[in-house]
Amino acid sequence: MQHHLRISQCFFNTRPVENAGHLGYPAGMSNTAKTKALAPIARRFRGFLPVVVDVETAGFNSKRDALLEVAAVLLDMDGDGYMSRRETVSVHIEPFEGANLDPKALAFTGIDPWHPFRFAKPEKEALSLIFQPIRRQIRETGCSRAILVGHNPSFDLAFIKAAVERCGIKRNPFHLFSTFDTATLAGLVYGQTVLARAVQAAGFEWDSEQAHSAVYDAEKTADLFCAVVNRWREVSGEPWPATGQDPAPAPEPDESDENEEASP
């Protein structure tokens, strides 16, 4: 496998987001008016912004083993409730001081943590690169918080949370325990729980040579999640938000988010 030689970069999409803007509302604005002002994606998942994440690591222990790659795929939703990929941000990460590097895990992923062409970043800088566009989209859409989407996402969330704690980051943009699991969703819709088989069952190609890189797995997981959401939209015929649904309005801007985005 050659993916460990590939250089991951952060790609920032400058395409305007529907209903983009700050989260401040005029004084006296009713909750109903606030709800109508939210972007479609903010009204679809009770105010949570789905962000697809995949991590590559040097083992299974989030406290002890190194976090080596993170990829996050941001999603869009149009006015009819259909989802698509918006942008991918990714970064290679230097093992934190004292991190365990399990040779079996490295052989499985094909990652050489010390390869010079990885252009790896220190953990705190890497998380900042991942979190900045997520926080930006939360503000633009009027969502209240990100929710991690992954294939067996408890693994990915555990490593993100452990890295946030190590780096002393004050606020994790992700919900701390709730997730969307594409293994469960694909099992329901397609009868498949293995990522490769689920992606193919949803009508997408799967390249085993590219698998186990954070970017490839995250983007394929994003395609799968969007396919499930879009299929439900077609089957149900229900516009979103559903009739009578009244999601809570997004909170006012959080100064700590602005400060963390500005800091390295």
Contacts of 103 (CB under 8 A, 6+ apart): none
Q: Give the containing element (helix H, strand E) for 229.
A: helix 214-236
Annotated catalytic residue 212: yes
Active-site entry in 3, 4, 92, 212: 212
Are 91 and 213 within 8 A, CB to CB? no
40 contacts 81 by C-beta, under 8 angstroms: yes
DSSP for 114-129, written as a single string: T-GGG--B-HHHHHHH
Q: How many CB atoms lie within 10 A of CB 148?
A: 26
Distance CA 125, CA 261 (A): 11
CB atoms under 10 Å from CB of 81, counted, come to 21
Separation of alpha carbons 26 and 204, rounded Å: 45
Alpha helices in 50-121 (DSSP H): 103-109
The structure tokens 């009204």 sit at 43
CA dist list (Å): 3 to 46, 69, 74, 91, 220 = 37, 12, 22, 13, 16
Supply the residues annotated as catalytic: 212
